[in-house]
Structure 1
Amino acid sequence: GPCSDRTTGAPLLGSRLDRVGPGGAMAFVDTGGNLRLGYHAWNAPYVNYPTLNDSWSVVPCGEPSVPPPFTVPSSCPWQGQRRLFVDTITRNGNGTLNPPAPPATAVQPPATSRRYHPITPYRLLDTRNLSAGMANAHATKPDAGWVIPLEVHGRGRGAHNGPDRVPPSGVSAVALNITVAEGEQLGYVTAFPCGAPVPTASSPGATSSLNFRAGQVIPNMAISQLGPDGTVCLYVERRTQVIVDLVGYLDTVGGDGLLTPVTPTRILDSRPGPQNLAWSGALGAGETRALTVAGGGGPVPANASSVVLNVTVTGGSAGGDLRLWPTGQSQPDASNLNWAPGETAPNLVIAKVGTNGQVQVRNSAGSVHVIADVVGYTSTTGNPISTVTPTRVLDTRTGLGGPGGKVGAGEARVVSVAGGVPVGTTAVVVNLTAVAPSAPTHLTAYAGDQVTPPTASNLNVVPGDVRANLAVVPVAADRTIRIRNNSGAVDVLADIVGYVA
């Protein structure tokens, strides 16, 4: 309506993250010969906007364009605003519009020491579904070779600039739960800072965030640095649907968010028998149970802000997903772990601690047993987390990082991480990948000077599969870790993505 009908600065559409999508898009060629796509959202809310996306401007109705950032008064001086987004696109031979590959000349950001801030999981991207409330909406199944840029600043739940949103500036890295579905052949997805070289299979030193086979639903957590424009990119090596949930970020603000790694400690095992802990019996379809993760006599103190868990499901009677969120808050739309019937599937979860030191755990379908191992926590004590350009320190297929050849049953391979982390490192954040085991097995990673392996596991895998899982692993004084294989023989890859020091 006219400006006279508006007396406050309240937004017309609720949140500035709502109803942002490519309606009425216009393709054009810019002066540099690049094919571009412009689209806008009408009546964007009256707030102070930071610079977002590839480029955009805010056009007040009846006023000239105002380049961001800009400040608006608390009352309405004009009839709403239009928000213009401009994205670069390329056209391939079959007419499909693809996001561009970042320039190969860009340089990766250096390692930066930060504090970790968990947020209630927030769905950032789902290529299966164009949602009006989704910040980064792509309604097309990504083809092989796609690069998808994701804006993370300001994303999250709750009030604008609230504790459950990523701040508009000052963030160096984000924690993402990435899930693939409906993959059409063996492939992988990698998260990396936009503007850095695309990590294709032929790129020197390329690493992956998660691997998948045709038809699998596979999740894995990833911690990625942001590019100079504050965005994170996903490289999709083979055609698949991609779902991304934002679960936390790293910055230098506040007295909290310092990480303390612990020897992996099991706090939950719903399976019957002597190993049973915390819960009795499988988690049913649609059932939610509370799990005490802090202040309950275990390794995590009551003042912890988040807990780092390796969560495993097994024996599911149907395919489903698991969701974890802080007790006292509403259930999120995002999931932490997905599985097929009968599958044993793990995933690293950094869960925000709720009231009474608890988190809520919900199963979507069928019945399934749940196992949880604590591997660390964040609080006002501990050490900052430094993110680094992913560095491969072990590949048993090629002999990188040690003798070549598969890791045998019961064998613990010692791996040096000294090339990627400084003296004084207490733990590494490492992406472990198991390739084509000869028997059902699990991998356990622990400090290099620890002789007896913990009872916990980091990664479960079946014969012939390729699966990755992020892990936080204590480091010995000589900067080594051990990776132990339980059964059969398996090739193992290890990529360092961060460290605690």
Structure 2
Amino acid sequence: PNLVTIPVGSDGAVDIYNRFGTTQVIADIFGYYSSGSGSLFKPLTPARVLDTRSAGPIGAGGTLKLPVTGANGVPSSGVTAVVLNVTATESTDGGFLTLYPDGQPRPASSNLNFVAGQTIPNLVTIPVGSDGAVDIYNRFGTVQVIADIFGYFTNDGTGYRFHTSTPQRLLDTRNGQGVTSGQATPVGTGGVFALPLTDTAGPGNTGPLAGAAALMLNVTATESTDGGFLTVYPSNVARPASSNLNYVAGQTIPNAVVTPVNGSAIDFYNRFGTVQIIADLFGYYSAN
């Protein structure tokens, strides 16, 4: 799976294109952005809020309650939803996770699908329960779950509005797009690649993306020489102890990423081996 935030056409529809072969497609809706009143987004420096590897996995048919308000920069009140990057790992069977507000019935949808032994993340935007918690349900086997928080939505009148962008490629290290030197350059072990935010599709389509509070990206890892992970974070800050995208050697895999902006660049950190990185812009958050 992958979280997709996409503008709708004038007829209220979106198109889904398949490149090769035939494929079945499942889509679950989790919310929408409108030009009217609604919650506003507050980005956060990413922080780890759950790692069951220190306490034990979630069993088959089990549900874990995760409190998310009142810590890690999230206020105790006025929070309507949170943005989490959720990773499944060390699963003993193929299955799926479903996240939903604590205290409400579990929906017939999924957020994250995996096979036995796979480590895979997905970005999740989920409403919180009246007690400030979300529930994580596991369907089959046992699975360890990791969750990093990247921001929250609030109805207190503060925060940033979402602006859709025509999807556009900001970075492709395979051909040098977005690379200052213009040369095709994979990111090496422990390497940090800084992507300058000089695109002109920023707030009001008049300024650089550096003027935004946060970006909505789809980030793809490909041609990796080792298993590892990517961390995407704002420039000029310490690298957070979180991850956005996990992969095995040779795998091509994407994940949606919401990253705060701090200055004129965002950073991509690669943990192991070398990897090519692709980043596509789908929208941004700003005060206007």
The one of 23, 27, 32 aligned to 1:240 = 23
Q: Which residue of 1 aligns with 2:73?
A: 299
Matched, 1:468 2:254: yes
Measured in 2, the distance between the counterparts of 1:487 and 1:425 equals 30
Matches within 5 A, 1:433-444: 433-444=220-231
Q: Which residue of 2 aligns with 1:363?
A: 138
Matches within 5 A, 1:94-173: none
Matches within 5 A, 1:168-317: 219-238=1-20, 239-254=22-37, 256-272=38-54, 280-295=55-70, 297-301=71-75, 302-317=77-92
The one of 159, 168, 178 aligned to 1:391 = 168
Matched, 1:412 2:222: no
Matched, 1:421 2:202: yes
Shift of 1:448: 1.8
- Deviation track 1:115-166 (CA, whole Å, cap 9, x = no partner) reads xxxxxxxxxxxxxxxxxxxxxxxxxxxxxxxxxxxxxxxxxxxxxxxxxxxx
Matched, 1:494 2:279: yes
Shift of 1:237: 1.3
- Three-state SS of the structure 1 residue aligned to 2:131 is helix
Measured in 2, the distance between the counterparts of 1:365 and 1:436 equals 31
Residue identity matched to 2:247 = V
Measured in 1, the distance between the counterparts of 2:215 and 2:26 equals 26
TM-score (norm 1): 0.53
- Three-state SS of the structure 2 residue aligned to 1:246 is coil
Residue identity matched to 1:340 = V
Residue identity matched to 2:252 = V
- Three-state SS of the structure 1 residue aligned to 2:141 is coil
Q: Which residue of 2 aligns with 1:29?
A: none
- Three-state SS of the structure 1 residue aligned to 2:2 is strand
Q: Which runs of 5+ in 1 are unaligned?
A: 1-218, 273-279
- Three-state SS of the structure 2 residue aligned to 1:224 is coil
The one of 445, 457, 475 aligned to 2:232 = 445
Shift of 1:417: 2.7
Q: Which residue of 1 aligns with 2:123?
A: 348
The runs of at least 4 aligned residues of structure 1 exceeding 3 Å deviation read none
Shift of 1:485: 0.6
The one of 460, 476, 481 aligned to 2:266 = 481
RMSD, aligned α-carbons: 1.1
Q: Which residue of 2 aligns with 1:13?
A: none
- Deviation track 1:271-290 (CA, whole Å, cap 9, x = no partner) reads 12xxxxxxx21000000111
Measured in 2, the distance between the counterparts of 1:355 and 1:429 equals 27
Measured in 2, the distance between the counterparts of 1:421 and 1:269 equals 35
Q: Which residue of 2 aligns with 1:79?
A: none
Shift of 1:298: 2.4
Residue identity matched to 1:440 = G
Contact kept, 8 Å, 1:393 with 1:416, in 2: the verdict is no
Measured in 2, the distance between the counterparts of 1:418 and 1:376 equals 24
Measured in 1, the distance between the counterparts of 2:262 and 2:64 equals 36
Measured in 2, the distance between the counterparts of 1:330 and 1:389 equals 36
Residue identity matched to 1:242 = V
- Three-state SS of the structure 1 residue aligned to 2:53 is coil
Q: Which residue of 2 aligns with 1:38?
A: none
Measured in 1, the distance between the counterparts of 2:47 and 2:236 equals 18
Q: Which runs of 5+ in 2 are unaligned?
A: none
Shift of 1:308: 0.3
Measured in 1, the distance between the counterparts of 2:236 and 2:178 equals 17
TM-score (norm 2): 0.92
- Deviation track 1:25-82 (CA, whole Å, cap 9, x = no partner) reads xxxxxxxxxxxxxxxxxxxxxxxxxxxxxxxxxxxxxxxxxxxxxxxxxxxxxxxxxx
Shift of 1:483: 0.6
Measured in 1, the distance between the counterparts of 2:19 and 2:67 equals 39
Q: Which residue of 2 aligns with 1:275?
A: none
Shift of 1:252: 2.2
- Deviation track 1:183-241 (CA, whole Å, cap 9, x = no partner) reads xxxxxxxxxxxxxxxxxxxxxxxxxxxxxxxxxxxx00000000110101111112211
Measured in 2, the distance between the counterparts of 1:383 and 1:426 equals 7
